[in-house]
Every structure is written in C-alpha cells, then in structure tokens.
Amino acid sequence: MKEQELKDYKKAGQIAAEVLESSKSLFKKGKKFSDIAEEIESQIIKKGGNLAFPVNLSCNEIAAHYTPHPNDELTYEAQLIKVDLGVHINGCVADTAITIGPKENTDLIEASKEALNKALKLCTPGTEINKIGKTIQETIENYGFKPIKNLSGHELTTHVLHSGQVIPNYNNQDKTLLKEDQVFAIEPFATTGTGLVKDGKLSTIYSLEEHKPLRANRDVLKYIEENYKTLPFAKRWLLKKFPLPKVTLALAQMKSLGIIREYSQLIEINKSLVSQAEHTVIIKDKPIITTKI
C-alpha cells in the first residue's frame, strides 16, 4: 500500500470514529431520524471527509439499509438503533457502526461488539477467512444469540464499498488466506431470532450499476457519476441540487434502464432484534484498525 493511500485510509477512519462517537448524543426522544441523519452527515463534511454512503439508522428488526427518505417523520423513541456510517478520502473508505438502545438489550449489543473485537485480532496475513467467521459465530452464540449468516463483512477498495472477498459471520469453511494490505470492514450482526435477513421495503439508497445513455435528466445522471461514482447515495442528497419531481422521474428512468439499483431494507426474517458492531481494518502483522479512537 502506498504511503498516501495509507494516510487517506487513516484520515477517513479518524473522521468516521469521531463522528460515530459524537452521534450518540443526538438520539433524544421525539427527535426526527431525518434531522439526526443530516447532523451526522454534516459533521463528516465539516471535518473534511466525503460521504461514502448514506448514514444507516436501522431500527430493531431492520439490520441494515434504513436511511431517512424525503419527508420522513420517524422519530427516536428508544428503539434499538444500528448507526452505520461511511467516510472516504480520495476513495479510501472507512466503514464503522455501533448499536445503541435500551438497557434490556445490553447483552445483545455486547455480543456483536465482543465478536468484532475478537475478530479484529485475527486480521493478520495468512489467517484463513473461516477462522474469523468461526470466532464471530462462537462469541455470539456464547451470549445465547445467533449470528446473521447472510450478512457479512466485506473488502474495501478505492471507491468500491463491497469489493472482492467477504468475511462471514459464521464458519463457512472458506480457507482463503488474508493478504497484507487488504482492507476489510468487519461487521458482526447478532440477533435474538434465527439468524437470517430478507428484503423489506425499498430504502431510497441507490448506486450506479452500469453506464448507459439517458435521454432526459442527463444532468442528474452526470451529477451522480461525478460525485458518487460507484458508492451508494441517497435520494435526499439529490434534493439539495435538484427539485423533487425531477429527482423522482430521473431515478425511475435510471432504475428501469438498469443504470442504478435501489437497495432494500434488510429485515430479520422473524422480525427479531438485531445488533451490529463494525470497524475497518488494514491487514498487517499488527492490524491497523482505522476507525478506532
């Protein structure tokens, strides 16, 4: 890894860690999630970072991919919240998450957190991927919960959030060896349910899939290509640049042509509670956890 690239990963990680820590104070009863999301994303930009994806504020049984949509009225009422945010510097991404919630969910929150901490210690060159998954699974099950098997950690490369290899949350028998300077987001999910998620409502989170010509609203597509590249973006972001009717029509056109995809919210199949913990790590003999304060 080049020196500048390493600096960029570390800077992105520092900003992500600081913003994630400060986000804890934003969750006050009755406060709109849309306001919380805007505050978190604004903090990232003020600190000199770029948004790697829309902040996820997934509640209770929603494991991932809830971000406030335009005119969203959902408020914080002591739900179990996964705060998942991403920062990039020159395309070098930091991806990190915590779970906050009522005291009765402390064990569930600790299960994913402890699984993450144990997994990070294994992020050295030559480690078999299945050993990390095995550690995550055993740690979560020791708390009496289940890991979510169809969610996983993921490799990060420049401007690509999900790239190459995955890090499972269970022993999937994958004997692939980690290599020095690979970058991964490790993210154990623990649940009171059976350990699988399914697609729920659409999220208003999108990403570019394929470059194709667009007859109308080409300025919206150009803006997406120039500002987000392949990284996910939110409909509400586009509304800061373009009017709602134009954005709605442009997104519908691009979806129908396969230019963009819209992510679904991911929900535990029994609608059981889910916790998440996540850090970004660079594979070294002494792993570099970029998102740890």
In tens, the pLDDT along 107-132 reads: 999 999 999 999 999 999 999 999 99
Q: What percent of the chain has pLDDT over 90?
A: 96
Rg of the chain over CA atoms, in angstroms? Answer: 18
Name the band, by pLDDT with cuts 50, 70 and 90, for residue 90: very high
Query: Would the pLDDT of 248 be above 90?
Result: yes
Query: What is the reported pLDDT for 118?
Result: 98
The catalytic position among 41, 154, 268, 279 is 154
Query: What is the reported pLDDT for 247?
Result: 97
pTM of the model: 0.95
Residue 155 among the catalytic residues: no
Query: What is the reported pLDDT for 70?
Result: 87
Specify whether the CB–CB gap between 275 and 108 falls below 8 A.
yes
CA torsion sign for 207, 31, 87, 195 is negative
Query: What is the reported pLDDT for 53?
Result: 98
The catalytic position among 61, 114, 155, 187 is 187
Residue 110 among the catalytic residues: no
Q: State how far the alpha carbon of 226 is from the alpha carbons of 16, 73, 219, 229, in Å.
A: 23, 31, 10, 6
Fold of 201-266: Arc Repressor Mutant, subunit A (1.10.10)
Query: What is the reported pLDDT for 293?
Result: 85
Query: What is the reported pLDDT for 232?
Result: 97
Which of 130-134's residues contact partners 24+ apart within 8 Å by CB, and which partners? 130/168, 130/171, 130/172, 130/173, 130/174, 130/175, 131/171, 132/167, 132/168, 132/186, 133/167, 133/168, 133/169, 133/170, 133/171, 133/172, 133/174, 134/170, 134/171
The catalytic position among 18, 138, 162, 209 is 162
Q: State how far the alpha carbon of 108 is from the alpha carbons of 27, 171, 188, 274, 287, in Å.
A: 19, 20, 11, 8, 26
CATH number assigned to the domain covering 3-199+271-289 = 3.90.230.10
Residue with the bigger pLDDT between 288 and 213: it is: 288
**Domain regions of the chain by residue span:** 3-199+271-289, 201-266
Residue 285 among the catalytic residues: no
Residue 95 among the catalytic residues: yes
Residue 279 among the catalytic residues: no
Residue 219 among the catalytic residues: no
The catalytic position among 8, 41, 84, 155 is 84
Q: What percent of the chain has pLDDT over 70?
A: 100
Residues 6+ apart with CB under 8 A from 67: 37, 54, 55, 56, 57, 203, 204, 205, 234, 236
- pLDDT, mean of residues 75-99: 97
- Least Cα distance to 76 among 37, 18, 118, 133 occurs for 37
Query: What is the reported pLDDT for 11?
Result: 98
In tens, the pLDDT along 155-210 reads: 999 999 998 899 999 999 999 999 999 999 999 999 999 999 999 999 999 999 99
Specify whether the CB–CB gap between 169 and 122 falls below 8 A.
no
Specify whether the CB–CB gap between 273 and 82 falls below 8 A.
no
